[in-house]
Structure 1
């Protein structure tokens, strides 16, 4: 009877570890390229997806090798475990994000004023072919948003529009957003600031518009955040609006 060390080495186990190790630099480089902003969104996302597909392949091959080890007594259990662990680690955060995001509505445009959302002006020059339209989606998007995010509402302050504008602009800069338009309050006191926010991991961009209107006493601030890519934002734009408006409310008290 042949000893364990003489049994054939599972080819699936070898491939699992090899592909998992290769997936690490592929994914890392793709993420860095995506965050750099030097590559268009679709190719950058495709590059990241290729690394994750390699990780998924490594996981599948690990399970195939476990089967051959169990049935045929092949060697390679440790190699398969390495491939499984690395592949699962690379896939963990994306899978969690997708699973969590599926609980949110399939929208990519969130605003505090669904009846009259701030209209993008500066962002028109930023959008590229193949990216989302800047035209608001209308009643269907509004109803989905109101059902999912009832807390997304305007902020009212006791400060005049000029002061509110200055605070709103500074908060954008403090968050590291790239301001692309920041017209000061005009004769009627109305003003709008536009900026671009990037997601922490992949640097996916959302266009931001903050509109400030004079009230009988103080100002009303409305906000809109719209993803440049994808029909579903997995809750990202609501998170942007909620966080910013909370900070603005605290800063203008």
Structure 2
């Protein structure tokens, strides 16, 4: 007598499969958006839309993953591993942008920060190089300055016990160390001309471009004053990036001068 074996098919959750696919697919979409923008193949707005699509896929994958976990737990189907994997990928993708947006929500909607709001450094080379679709290079005025003073009271000029030439060279070295793209660097000429450096500073991960102008001016006592202005090329909110950029540069400059 031939005995027949009974095979029981163990079903797999379709939600678990799709949650993993969506979460996994969000990663190359975001990488592609950043790469195409960095290499100039995409303008800011299309790149932002593509980035948003990637984040949306990750969020959708996370929602499906949670639903799949509940479904798998109740039905006993396979797919718990895929669901947890999808959730881990989605959290990894969304956590960084979510933290930046949460921080930005507590800050005023500024895109142009300057250590000198009365006489801010002016963009010259960048005023020509900046695309027409970008934010204007004109400083926004007293209303923005008031918001800046309230949100970032520590953004101030740095006075150095160094000649303008020494201060200019120290700042230029820090800019080059950060690998910002220098468009213009005019050294100071005694009390006749201010030194000025203009550079493009991309954000670390996505490469969004920000324009920076640094002014080195002689002081009456023989020292020098350094002013920095950082402006987002696009958007209506810098999420605090410009203030952090200026603060970091000024802190490094003060530390560098303490070594001498």
Task: State TM-score, norm by structure 1.
Answer: 0.89
8 Å contact kept, 1:19–1:54: yes
SS at match of 1:44: helix
Which residue in the other structure is 2:240 paired with?
Answer: 235
Deviation at 1:242, TM superposition (A): 0.8
CA–CA separation in structure 1 for the residues paired with 2:47 and 2:22: 21
Q: Deviations over 1:128-179 (max 9, x none)?
A: 1332111111122111111111111111122222222222222211221111
Which residue in the other structure is 1:131 paired with?
Answer: 134
Q: Considering only aligned residues, what root-mean-square deviation do their CA atoms show, in Å?
A: 2.2
8 Å contact kept, 1:35–1:201: no
CA–CA separation in structure 2 for the residues paired with 1:204 and 1:232: 13
Deviation at 1:43, TM superposition (A): 2.0
Aligned length: 250
SS at match of 2:212: strand
Verify: 1:196 aligned to 2:208, yes or no. no
Q: 1:57 to 1:162 in 2, by over 3 A?
A: same
Verify: 1:213 aligned to 2:217, yes or no. yes
SS at match of 1:211: strand
SS at match of 1:119: coil
Which residue in the other structure is 2:152 paired with?
Answer: 149
Verify: 1:78 aligned to 2:78, yes or no. no
- More off after superposition, 170-179 vs 36-45: 36-45
8 Å contact kept, 1:34–1:45: no
User: Over alpha carbons, which structure has the higher Rg?
Assistant: 2
SS at match of 2:119: coil
CA–CA separation in structure 1 for the residues paired with 2:87 and 2:207: 28
Which residue in the other structure is 1:172 paired with?
Answer: 175
Which residue in the other structure is 2:24 paired with?
Answer: 21
8 Å contact kept, 1:188–1:214: no
Deviation at 1:102, TM superposition (A): 1.9
